[in-house]
């Protein structure tokens, strides 16, 4: 069945290509948009059509709702897939699509709005009986009241932006004298980043695990979960490595957390794909937030379930019912995703945009690379630093780790600094191998202190493998010269 004739992808890079691949398999024509900085990007060439959307700055291009809708209507795209980031969780954009008669591939705008408020969503979950961390029930308006709540739940506490994500505006507070400064600082950052200065306080867990459940729900009342993912290894509250399933999961814990995740889906009237995020500590779990979009780490769920989440998104958006039930799903093996970022782990993860001089992605059994880059491509400084996702699958977790190690040693990216050496160091860390991870893993394990050696090893390996490029150029040059000589002799 062909769900749409033409679909516009309101995004860039690897996620744009990921959506286009699903569309190509579904025989749906694709439309790319691009900024000034992306005119030579791979997603532009991959699409069936491509349209300039604006200047390099996101506010002038990938966040320009009016321009994107105008392009969709002029080119005849019936649907828009937002990917993740940019407009993916912007309820105004989802409503704009609805008002203009263009299908938004995602949940309803009212659901996005409701779940986009961390305060509102937690109030909703608390009423539904889903475990929630203790903290303020509303935004902080009175610092004395905030101090009272913090004293009641006990330090440390964390100050968060209600409208935010990606760790922006988060501040950990260990004592009362630091609270007022943290609150005003978070409010200032939240206002600048999200246009909403509302912040709240909740109990801060010392070494929690970050576990999420993938949800699919259609417009006909059917909903399933596609099991769990562990996302505990992070830097600056942003994920670096994810795996599915979580290495600590038991049948009993999975059943309880899955039930809570489906309850979240039910009470929020959720449709399409989404992820329910929990913090887990000492046998207890707590609802954190719901991501009302496709996750970066959807790849590993696809590996262990065999379900193409993007195709499911498109089918649900077209009004189709889920073609399977919960009893039809099972976990097959173990998968790991490493986010390859153009940044320097030894320099506080500073972004390192620039030209890629040599590039070759790994392959072989159980390896998947989602990427929007290529040799000779110049990574612009205007967008997120993630340039690729490297995924490995095998029948057991240990085998998946071994496979990931092998894949990392095959990956060649020269000309910029990347997180590849860091991932290799983690894959060789004994605590990680044993599954003992938490959200402060990088700091606790002191991996960055031992990274220099792994970085040197990786660079040496890359340079050795990259030598094949130069050899290939020599062979090509000799072959071209011989062919020219032969042609001249014939003539």
Instruction: Report the candidate in 401, 396, 353 with the shortest Cα–Cα distance to residue 378.
Output: 353
C-alpha 417/C-alpha 111 separation (Å) is: 39
φ/ψ of residue 464, rounded to 5: -65, -50
* CB of 334 closer than 8 Å to CB of 397: yes
Which one from 18, 209, 254, 293 is the annotated catalytic residue?
A: 293
Cβ atoms of residues 336 and 242 within 8 Å? yes
Distance CA 105, CA 315 (A): 9
Comparing C-alpha atoms, which of 105, 42, 34, 99 is closest to residue 69? 99
CB 438 within 8 A of CB 232: yes
Separation of alpha carbons 147 and 21, rounded Å: 51
Active site residue 461: no
* Distance in angstroms (rounded) separating the CA atoms of residues 215 and 307: 12
Catalytic residues: 293
């Amino acid at each position: 069945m062909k769900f749409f004739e033409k679909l516009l992808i309101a995004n860039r890079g690897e996620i744009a290509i990921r959506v286009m691949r699903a569309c190509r398999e579904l025989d749906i024509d694709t439309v790319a948009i691009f900024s000034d900085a992306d005119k030579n990007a791979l997603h532009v060439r991959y699409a069936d059509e491509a349209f300039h959307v604006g200047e390099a700055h996101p506010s002038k291009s990938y966040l320009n709702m009016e321009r994107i809708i105008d392009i969709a209507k002029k080119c005849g795209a019936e649907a828009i897939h937002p990917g993740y980031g940019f407009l993916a969780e912007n309820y105004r954009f989802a409503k704009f699509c609805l008002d203009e008669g263009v299908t938004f591939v995602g949940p309803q705008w009212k659901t996005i709005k409701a779940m986009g408020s961390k305060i509102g969503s937690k109030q909703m979950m608390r009423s539904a009986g889903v475990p929630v961390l203790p903290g303020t029930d509303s935004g902080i308006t009175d610092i004395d009241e905030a101090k009272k709540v913090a004293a009641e739940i006990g330090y440390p506490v964390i100050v968060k932006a209600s409208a935010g994500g990606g760790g922006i505006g988060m501040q950990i507070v260990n004592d009362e004298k630091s609270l007022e400064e943290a609150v005003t600082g978070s409010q200032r950052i939240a206002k600048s980043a999200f246009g909403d200065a509302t912040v709240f306080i909740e109990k801060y867990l010392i070494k929690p695990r970050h576990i999420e459940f993938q949800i699919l729900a259609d417009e006909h009342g059917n909903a399933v979960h596609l099991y769990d993912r562990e996302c505990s290894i992070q830097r600056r509250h942003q994920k670096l490595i994810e795996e599915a399933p979580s290495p600590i999961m038991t049948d009993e814990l999975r059943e309880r957390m899955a039930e809570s995740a489906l309850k979240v889906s039910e009470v929020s009237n959720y449709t399409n794909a989404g992820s329910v995020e929990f913090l887990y500590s000492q046998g207890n779990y707590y609802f954190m937030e719901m991501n009302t979009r496709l996750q970066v780490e959807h790849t590993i769920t696809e590996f262990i379930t065999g379900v193409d989440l993007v195709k499911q998104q498109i089918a649900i958006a077209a009004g189709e019912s889920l073609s399977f039930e919960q009893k039809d799903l099972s976990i097959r093996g173990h998968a790991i995703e490493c986010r390859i970022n153009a940044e320097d782990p030894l320099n506080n993860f500073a972004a390192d945009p620039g030209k890629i001089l040599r590039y070759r992605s790994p392959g072989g059994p159980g390896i998947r690379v989602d990427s929007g880059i290529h040799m000779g491509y110049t990574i612009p400084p205007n967008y997120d630093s993630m340039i690729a996702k490297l995924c490995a699958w095998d029948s057991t977790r240990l085998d998946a780790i071994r496979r990931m190690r092998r894949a990392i040693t095959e990956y060649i990216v020269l000309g910029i600094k990347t997180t590849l050496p860091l991932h290799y160091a983690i894959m060789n860390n004994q605590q990680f191998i044993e599954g003992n991870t938490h959200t402060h893993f990088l700091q606790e394990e002191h991996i960055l202190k031992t990274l220099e050696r792994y970085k040197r090893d990786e660079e040496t390996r890359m340079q050795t493998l990259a030598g094949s490029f130069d050899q290939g150029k020599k062979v090509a040059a000799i072959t071209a010269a011989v062919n020219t000589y032969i042609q001249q002799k014939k003539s």
